[in-house]
Structure 1
Amino acid sequence: MKLLSRLGVAVALIHSLIPLNVSAQSQLNYTTSWIGNSFGFGDGKWMQQDIQAISVGADGTVYTNAPWDESGSEIAAYRAGDKLAVAGSTHGWGAAGGDAVAVNHTYLYAAMSIGNQSNALVGADYPAANQTWYGITRRTLANLANGAPFSGGIGNSANATKNSFLPVQTVTTGADASIRGLAATDTELYVADTYGNRIVVYDAQSMQPLRSWSVTSPGRIAVDTDSSLWVLSGISSGTLTILHYAANGAALANSLTLPAGTVPTDIAVAPSGQILVADNGPLQQILVFNKDANGQPQSGAAIGTRNGMFHAIKGAAGNVRFNGITGIGVDAAGNLYVAQNGEGPRAIGSASVGQGAVLESYVFSSRAFNWRLYGLTFVDSAAFDPATPNSVYTGSKRFTLDYNQPAGREWTYAAFTLDRFDYPDDPAFHQPRGVRGEPMVRRINGRPFLYTLDPGAHYLNVYRFDTAHGEMAIPSGLLAQNPLPGSWPAGQPTYGEWLWRDANGNGAVDASEISSNPSTGSTVGNGFWWVDTPGDVWLATPLSGIREMPMQGFDAAGNPIYTYATSKMFAMPQPFTRLARLVYIAETDTMYLSGFTSAIPWDATHWKEAGPVLARYDNWSSGTPTQQYAISLPWNTQSNPQTTTVGVAVAGNYIFVAELYTAKVDVYDARTGQAVGTMTPGASVGNTSGWVDVYLGISAAQRENGEYVVLLEDDARAKILMYRWTP
């Protein structure tokens, strides 16, 4: 690689000309909106980010459960397209939600766990050192926040759920003993003790054990109209069958014959007696079994579009186009409820929170649509399609915008772009958190490409599109600063940088398609990727300067070509001692860099920050770049909360800088570096947002009418924050 060391000299000569010590303080005139969640939080509501299980009450209330929601809505209640309640006390202080839920006419029973936060929590409310409790929390339907205590109940002595937790398994911390199935009548509670390979029956009032019997790693349970039980078995092995038992545990002969390829994830019984089975296999449907004169289930017409969202047009959202069904139920009035999270129930031991939650309802008999709720984004940011500011991509979703609609209603969920069936080798599945986030959308020679980062910006994923695969983003390439942990992919080096390009076009990472960096053989680590308009890839390394990898055209499969041999290196310019973010505007040959300086050096506690200084350089690639200014960004690590920066976006004549802890976007004039003002969340989103928690958490675009639209990650409540501002 050719080292352009003259760059550091050129900017050093002029960097002292305009070091601007400015702070953007004045509030701008803008509107606050959001994308991806049915509620903004201005009304105190948000749709949770994951649903692992549902139970439907007699009145059509849908009760949900999941191990984790960033703002504590693991267990919640919804009805008629509205959110009614959050149970609480399942988030923090050792507590987490779970993978099963059931209700009768009086109580809600939900799986949850209680740990001790690496042995930091002690006392009767917590398990012994190095142990975790998995069990059931019981709440009153009248108020989900209130526990329904019972003799032998334990935990939560300092809140309203005191003594309403029933431990079913005590295991070594790290083992996953989550309850994977619950069903309740007004007299009995049926518990799938998946870890213990048994069904346990408790008295629904006293919570005392009544009986149990052995079932291999049981999961979901449904009570039939004759009081018999349908039980999903084989959760731990993945060899899933549905077994039939009498309520006393006696095995019954009649069974469900599932089509080949079915991956059953939930079971429900309609008031009519029909048995429903959610299929998370390629069909993505709800299987329906009618009973003959002898009570033997017979396969009927399935509910839902065959292949769900993966039916043509692949990825397009629509009615009965399911995607990762995790829960189903039918109420007494004949309404069907379907919960999805874009992947299906989490695997044993997984910490997955899904790919975005959808809860929807249909009339069971006619399949007519009733209502739908969305909580679609987590550890994800958003970016505009350069072809139109009306189309927005997140890592795995596409939204369309109608700017004439009221705040929070501008967006429509258009498509899901992550294909786990055709492309199970998508690198995103193997990277931290297993989600595809932090997008950059580029149009190269008119063709759309999606580039995404993992939360720590260690890996740059490349995707292409074609008409045969509809909205699906096809894995095309990967640039890695270091090897991925574990054995995937075969062929990656044990040390150092590497890249993959899908030369044969099959969307799989083949060992023969992997190249290591021959020049350094080292691990860059903690750098920041950027892709410019022509498709050239830039890497701001922390200490070794900046690397440009010019795109070398396209291969026969339509993948952009990048090579280490054609890379160019630029020395780190003044005033920086460590680089953190990079935005390069190819049209004007303008480079924006942020990072740390000798005055405020980097420290490990601020490992993901964008730094206290941002500088602009003109004529970057000319060999004699000129530093126009260096801005002192808001930075105070002694305040509470701290004031630090985490993201940088440039659009039109303005720079937008996201602060990490303070829910603030600082705006600067890109021409002069002067502070213009700030934007903070408005009333429509409850005047709050979560931390911007990823490296590329902010983007911006200018519309033809002069309005600027700024998109910001908001993990706290499963949405993308959107600011609209006209200077």
Structure 2
Amino acid sequence: MLRSLIPALFAVVAPAADLTYVTTWVGNSFDGAGENGRGRWMQNIIDEIEVAPDGTVLTASGWDEAGRCSGLYRDGMPNVKLLQQYNGKGGHKAWGWGTGGQAVAFAGDQLFIVNDEGELMRFRWTPGDLESASWVDEIKIGKTVGLSARGSTFVAIGADGVVSVRAISDLSEKSRFTLPGARDVAIDAQDTLWILSGDRIVHRGRDGAELPGVISDAGKPTSVAIDHQGHLLVCDDGARQQVLFYDLSATPTLVKRFGDEGGLRSGNPGTVTATKLWGLRGAGTDAAGNLYVGLNIAGYQSCGTVLKSFTPEGKLRWELHSHAFVDCYSFDPASDGREIYGADEIITFDPAKAPGQGWSLKALTIDAITHPDDPRLNGRHGATGILRRPQGKRLLANIGQYSGGFDLYTFESEQSHIARFRLHVGPTKDAGWAWEIDERGDIWCGDSPSHTVKRWKFGGWSADGAPIYDLAKPESWPWPEGFSEIGRVSYVPATDSLYVAGFTPEKKATSWGLIGSVVTRYDDWSTGKPVKKWTADMPVDDDKLQPKSMDVAGDYLFTVAVKSTAGRPSVVNVFKLSDGSAVGTIAPGPEVGGVSGWIDQSHGLRAMRCKDGEYRILVEEGARGKNLLYRWTPKK
């Protein structure tokens, strides 16, 4: 029951003026500016790469949020106009303008993509000109997992293990055979096939006849290719995390390995260096001997997606990054806004540098080799990583797109950046939306069963470094009066204030997963006799949707819209914590072409106040694989 020692204020949201701020971004090598079907960004995922003699890289993936499932890259730059089935004119069945799939190949002035509908598409292009590719024709060949072309022949590996040998000229099939478990193929100078099957690479003729040479020491191979010197390149995504080079002149012999042995586990665990590799998905060389490697841990979720190019001597030439597939980041509270954590990465931020140039990947916190049961490897598609430091130690709390509680991770040490899964806090189903973890490490749920607000207090650290929570005995309070639904909560220990966002019988939800139509501040919450200080109406976007996410930092409440407001995408509204009044708005600036996708994450905004009074606000921008980072200093 509420007690009102002071009059409850009701703040009505009036149209708020734009604030003065700077837009920058983190998590992607490019700004993502451009209309639908155009622009520069590094794609979300890499499943495979192929390399042309001139150094152009063609990628394959099943998904990119803005349709760059297959991309062209050269000298550290991507194509601007996306590859499009039927040149963009309707009929697209697979995602990404019809280009979503796992198999691609170059053949001189032609390139081939097999999409997830099993359509083998042929494009014509001028080698080296990333904007020249144009769809020509296609045939249906079925779901395909591997593709290779050389001379007048290309070979497709079907998902059912059927190996189809075809003529490039008219796409007609010349022969076929079945090899169970086949996943990729490379054609050597003698026109014979090296086929990745299971964890072995076997040698076959075009008619399927067995030929001498079997490679069984390639660890956990994920792809094969022939380099400029005729070596077989094998991506070993096992314990070595390296690109392997085999001499095929006689019995296949391993003659070279590239990449720091052990990948992310080498040196300081998790820390990224130029020659550490991880999640190897494909490799190849150009005519000059430059090496290209495509990296992506766990496939469909944009974990550690990087495309790297090295000189023949092994020095890094360039690299392109994409780390935020429908993810939202948060700040390390001990870093004064200079270190940023995601669900599986650590990013440094230098505010002195120009927009988009101030971020760099410091570490990846996932070790798929040591911890294969990590939930981040098993079905997570988008998450917010929230870093807290209870009692001075790092605690990473990951929460998914649909909320539902936290996966908690701890780090091996303050030096190691590998995070280990410890426990999940929250029901396994029907877990609700209103979850938060406060600065002390206490976990809150505002829409618990029986209309209760619950708190699981952080109880310290166990002897083996795990966080302690008594999951069976949370503190519990009844919902405040007047709410029909609670969508989010945020607790500030310093003032014992709980900010409750939700809906009322008069102001109902317009869609699922939104924070609410109102936000109310309650002081003295933990006493059991909370004081209602104010209630503020929440703004709606052009589709009449209430905000999707919110956070409290310093003296302000920040919310972000799902879609556009007055034509401006993903507008951030700022409110004073003192009285709930509207301060102003923030939206994507010219630094990113004014572009943002919809906000999908329940926790798609995180904010902090820096020591100098500047506020830094991170907002999910999943459409083009990044987070927007707004820098705003309130007027005194």
TM-score under structure 1 length normalisation: 0.81
Aligned to 2:201: 242
Would you say the 8 A contact 1:81–1:372 is kept in 2?
Answer: yes
Q: How does 1:41-120 map to 2 (within 5 A)?
A: 41-42=32-33, 44-85=39-80, 86-89=82-85, 93-96=92-95, 97-114=100-117
CA contact (8 A) 1:633 1:645 kept: yes
Say whether the 8 Å CA contact 1:220–1:231 is kept in structure 2. Answer: yes
- Counterpart contact for 1:24–1:666, Cα < 8 Å: no
Q: Name the aligned partner's letter for residue 10 of structure 1.
A: R
Note closer, same or farther for the CA distance 1:67–1:435 as it changes in structure 2 (3 Å cut): closer
Counterpart in the other structure of 1:593: 500
Counterparts in 2 of 1:580 and 1:473: CA distance versus 1, 3 Å:
same
**Inter-partner Cα distance in structure 1 for 2:605 and 2:291:** 38
Q: 2:3 aligns to what SS in structure 1?
A: helix
Q: How does 1:182-261 map to 2 (within 5 A)?
A: 182-195=147-160, 197-233=161-197, 239-259=198-218
Residue in 2 that maps onto 1:236: none
Alignment-derived partner of residue 489 in structure 1: none
Q: Following superposition of structure 1 onto structure 2, how do residues 196-595 of structure 1 map, counting pairs within 5 Å?
A: 197-233=161-197, 239-259=198-218, 262-291=219-248, 295-343=250-298, 346=299, 352-364=300-312, 366-388=313-335, 389-430=337-378, 433-435=379-381, 437-467=383-413, 470-482=416-428, 525-541=431-447, 544-595=451-502
State the Cα distance separating 1:565 from its structure 2 match: 4.4
Q: Secondary structure at the match of 2:253?
A: strand
In structure 2, how many angstroms separate the alpha carbons of the residues matched to 1:92 and 1:385?
46
The match for 2:558 is 656
Please name the residue that 1:167 is paired with: 140
Aligned residues: 611
Change (3 A) 1:229 1:712: same
Specify whether residues 569 and 434 from structure 1 end up closer, same or farther in structure 2 by C-alpha distance, changes over 3 A only: same
2-side partners of 1:707 and 1:224: how far apart?
58
2:185–2:193 Cα contact (<8 Å) kept = yes
Residues 225, 271 of structure 1: 8 Å contact kept:
no
Alpha carbons 1:651, 1:702 under 8 Å: kept:
yes
CA distance in 2, matches of 1:664, 1:275: 51
The answer (yes or no) to whether the contact 2:477–2:528 under 8 Å persists in 1 is no
Q: Give the alignment's TM-score, normalised by structure 2.
A: 0.92
Kindly provide the amino acid, as one letter, of the partner of residue 655 in structure 1. L
Q: CA deviation at 1:548?
A: 1.2
Give me the whole-angstrom Cα distance separating, in 2, the residues matched to 1:454 and 1:608.
Answer: 12
The answer to whether the 8 Å contact 2:500/2:519 transfers is: yes
Q: Does 1:40 align with 2:13?
A: no
Answering whether residue 4 of structure 2 is matched by residue 20 of structure 1, we say no
CA distance in 2, matches of 1:353, 1:566: 35
* Alignment check: 8 A CA contact 1:583 1:593 kept: yes
d(CA) in 2 for partners of 1:448 and 1:318? 22
Answer yes or no: is the 8 Å Cα contact 1:428–1:436 preserved in 2.
no
The answer to which of 558-567 and 390-399 deviates more is 558-567
Aligned with residue 676 of structure 1, among 567, 583, 593: 583
**What residue number does 1:628 align with?**
533
Give me the whole-angstrom Cα distance separating, in 1, the residues matched to 2:119 and 2:20: 50
The gaps in structure 1 that reach 5 residues or longer are: 1-5, 115-133, 149-163, 170-177, 234-238, 347-351, 484-523
In the TM superposition, what is the alpha-carbon distance from 1:570 to its structure 2 partner?
Answer: 1.1
How far has the Cα of 1:425 moved from its partner?
2.4
Q: Report the alpha carbon displacement of residue 613 of structure 1 after superposing the two structures with TM.
A: 0.5
Amino acid at match of 1:477: L
Name whichever of 544-553 and 653-662 sits farther off: 544-553
Partners of 1:528 and 1:712 in 2: CA distance: 18
SS at match of 1:288: strand
Deviations 1:119-150 (A, max 9, x none): xxxxxxxxxxxxxxx131111123565211xx
| 1:168–1:274 Cα change, 3 Å | same
Conserved 8 A contact 2:425-2:471: no
Q: Deviations over 1:11-32 (max 9, x none)?
A: 6x877x3222213521111111
In the TM superposition, residue 248 of structure 1 has moved relative to its aligned partner by 4.2
Q: Whole-Å Cα distance in 2 between the matches of residues 24 and 708 of structure 1?
A: 22
CA distance in 2, matches of 1:80, 1:223: 26
For residues 52 and 565 of structure 1, the distance between their equivalents in structure 2, rounded to whole angstroms, comes to: 42
C-alpha distance 441-194 of structure 1, shift in aligned 2 (>3 A): same
Verify the 8 A CA contact 1:24 1:668 in the aligned structure 2: no
Task: Describe the shift of the 1:297–1:469 C-alpha distance in structure 2 as closer, same or farther (beyond 3 A).
Answer: farther
C-alpha distance in 1 between matches for 2:213 and 2:418: 41
Measured after TM superposition, the shift of residue 643 of structure 1 is 3.6
| Aligned with 2:3 (options 4, 10, 20) | 10
Cα drift, residue 296 of structure 1: 2.3
1:692–1:713 Cα contact (<8 Å) kept: yes
Please tell me whether residue 704 in structure 1 is matched to residue 611 in structure 2: yes
Identity of aligned residues (%): 30
What is the rounded CA distance, in whole Å, between the counterparts of 1:217 and 1:422 in structure 2? 25
Alpha-carbon distance in 1 for matches of 2:208, 2:172: 17
Q: Which amino acid aligns with 1:51?
A: I
Could you say what the CA RMSD is over the residues aligned between the two structures, in angstroms? 2.0
Q: Post-superposition shift, 1:312?
A: 2.6
1:695 to 591, 602, 612: 602
Answer whether contact 2:563 2:599 (CA < 8 A) is retained.
yes
- DSSP-derived class of the 1:255 partner: strand
1:474–1:709 distance in 2 versus 1, CA, 3 Å: same
In the aligned structure 2, how far is the partner of 1:92 from the partner of 1:48?
A: 23
SS in 1 for 2:591: helix
| 1:39-87 C-alpha deviation (Å, 9 max, x unpaired) | 0123721100001111111211001111111101011100010112420
Cα distance, 1:469 vs structure 2: 7.5
CA contact (8 A) 1:589 1:620 kept: yes
CA displacement 1:402-460 (0-9 Å, x = unmatched): 11000011111001001222222223444xx4257212211111111111112211131
**Structure 2: distance between partners of 1:326 and 1:199:** 21
Cα 1:241–1:416 change in 2 (3 A) is: same
What is the alpha-carbon distance in structure 2 between the residues aligned to residue 537 and residue 248 of structure 1? 62
Instruction: State the distance in 2 between where 1:679 and 1:463 align.
Output: 32
Does the aligned pair in 2 maintain the 1:23–1:632 contact within 8 Å? no
Shift of 1:468: 8.3
Residues 301 and 382 in structure 2, CA contact (< 8 A), matched pair in contact too: no
Secondary structure class of the residue paired with 1:570: strand
2:3 is matched by which residue type in structure 1?
Answer: A
Contact map agreement 2:125 2:133 (CA 8 A) in 1: no
Contact 2:621–2:628 at 8 Å: present in 1 too?
yes
Contact 2:165–2:206 under 8 Å retained in 1 = no
| Contact 1:642/1:661 (<8 A) preserved | no
Structure 1 stretches of 4+ moved >3 Å: 89-93, 142-145, 427-430
Which stretch of the first structure deviates more once superposed, 373-382 or 619-628?
Answer: 619-628
Kept in 2: contact 1:429–1:435 (CA 8 A): no
Consecutive unaligned residues in structure 2, runs of 5 or more: 565-569
Q: What do residues 187-246 of structure 1 show as CA deviations (whole Å, max 9, x unaligned)?
A: 122111232x2211221021121211222232211121222221112xxxxx32211123
Q: CA deviation at 1:291?
A: 4.1
- Once residues 566 and 166 of structure 1 are traced to their aligned partners in structure 2, the CA distance between those partners, rounded to angstroms, is 61
| Contact persistence 1:106–1:186 (CA under 8 A) | no
Residues 468 and 23 of structure 1: is their aligned pair in 2 closer, same or farther, counting only changes over 3 Å?
closer
C-alpha distance in 1, partners of 2:279/2:110?
28
